[in-house]
Amino acid sequence: MTMNVLGFAAHSYKDALTPHRFERRDPRPDDVVIEILYCGVCHSDLHQARNDWGGSTYPLVPGHEIIGRVVSIGSDVTRFKKGDHVGVGCMVDSCQHCTACESGLEQYCEEIPTYTYNSVDRHDQMHTFGGYSEKIVVSDKFVLNIPDGLDLKGAAPLLCAGITTWSPLRHWNIGKGSSVAVIGLGGLGHMALKLAKALGAEVTLFTRSPGKEIDARRLGADEVVLSTDNEQMYAVKNQFELIIDTVPCVHDLNPYIPTLSLDGTLVLVGFLGDLDPLLNTTPLIMGRKSVAGSVIGGIAETQEMLDFCAKHRITSDIEVIRIQEINTAYERLLKSDVKYRFVIDMTSLKE
């Protein structure tokens, strides 16, 4: 048996998203069936819908920042009950037996995770569809508890933008007294500022756009540096133990490397692909500095982040939209015309 579900889908790379009915699998014993209440809009949703990265399979129902309510559970499920508020992020399964999975790093599964959409279920080979829809069926191992008191709408982007910036902060042991910089003030960047500050770090925003200082400081930045100003960049030379680079497009890393401290790391979390111009290795070699990459986080790490956010009352700054406004939201996203994340109220599907 399968479950007939209404969502919004792209039917080709050049088509707008439109209403679409599709089949979800009949729940297995370890599954949780979730009524979707809210779904964040990630830049990767737009990339996938328009096949910017290649490999998109249509019809494609995006959405991997899912907040919902449990409507039923399989016979083997003990962690959740009907009525619980839960979340689903970018993954719905992994091999569960490789070194990465056994270490709680399912995002680096050696056999590739099963992604929430535009992927193939590793058990029944059904296509996966995301959160721009009424319901989703997910293995309980990949369902997250939403702590009491955490605003449901504002929590949705935590499941991608939040964990994408939390994971490197934790991996590089950021805490009280750490010096952290964030490149870019968007969906990822604003979460990086909030989380780094709550961890006790001294936080600086790098931006190419004058006039962001008031907002940056509200979000947690102690300092704002205009990256196009050579004097300002020289003033922060050798300062940062970690730089989180959230820029989603091709850009030059060379101006930022000298601002790393000895053994400092610049970690890319926003861009996939080839970067140009070439990286000058001299400041890397002369300061034992590193350029690294990071993607989302494991399930245990994501739950840790949600619990931390509940404790510190951290959510994403959002603009709530109806699903019927998704194509306009995509156009605005291309212009960076949102502060700082769109979230879809999925009850609008019933309109």
CATH code (residue 238): 3.40.50.720
What interhelical angle do 187-198 and 161-171 show, nearest 10? 40
Which residues neighbour 75 within 8 Å (Cβ) at sequence distance 6 or greater?
A: 29
Residue-level pLDDT at 1: 61
pLDDT tens digits, one per residue of 86-100: 999 999 999 999 999
Residue-number span of the structural domain to which 8 is assigned: 2-158+318-350
Answer for the pair 188, 269: CB distance below 8 angstroms, yes or no: yes
- Domain tally, the chain: 2
Do 17 and 149 have their domain in common? yes
Report CA-CA distances (Å) from 206 to 162, 232, 244, 246, 251: 19, 10, 10, 10, 13
Residue-level pLDDT at 157: 97
Do 138 and 169 have their domain in common? no
Radius of gyration of the chain (CA): 20
Residue-level pLDDT at 211: 86
Do 7 and 151 have their domain in common? yes
| Cα-based torsion angle of the residue sequence 178, 179, 185, 190 in order, rounded to the nearest 10 degrees | 10
The size of the chain, in residues, is 351
Is residue 179 included in any domain, yes or no? Answer: yes
Do 184 and 327 have their domain in common? no
Compute the distance between CA of residue 277 and CA of residue 279 in angstroms, rounded to an integer.
7
Residue-level pLDDT at 31: 97
Do 333 and 287 have their domain in common? no
Is residue 184 included in any domain, yes or no? Answer: yes
Is residue 301 included in any domain, yes or no? Answer: no
Is residue 70 included in any domain, yes or no? Answer: yes
Do 249 and 215 have their domain in common? yes
Where does a domain end: 293, 308, 339? 293
Q: Is the dihedral of CA 302, 188, 266, 99 positive or negative?
A: positive
Residue-level pLDDT at 277: 84
Report CA-CA distances (Å) from 34 to 39, 224, 341: 12, 41, 23
Residue-level pLDDT at 58: 97
Where does a domain end: 276, 293, 310? 293
Do 345 and 227 have their domain in common? no
Is residue 72 included in any domain, yes or no? Answer: yes
Do 147 and 194 have their domain in common? no
Tell me the mean pLDDT per 10 residues along the chain, length 351: 90 97 95 98 95 95 98 97 98 98 98 97 96 98 96 97 98 97 95 98 95 93 96 97 95 96 97 88 96 97 98 97 98 92 96 81
Type and span of the H or E element at 267: strand 260-268
Residue-level pLDDT at 160: 96
pLDDT tens digits, one per residue of 182-201: 999 999 999 999 999 999 99
Is residue 305 included in any domain, yes or no? Answer: no
Do 57 and 99 have their domain in common? yes
CATH code (residue 115): 3.90.180.10
Q: Which of 63, 73, 50 is nearest to 346 (CA)?
A: 63
Residue-level pLDDT at 273: 87
Do 232 and 204 have their domain in common? yes
Cis, bond preceding 340 (omega within 30 deg of 0): yes
Report CA-CA distances (Å) from 201 to 194, 303, 312: 10, 21, 15
Do 182 and 113 have their domain in common? no
Structure tokens at 222: 């102690």
Do 124 and 191 have their domain in common? no
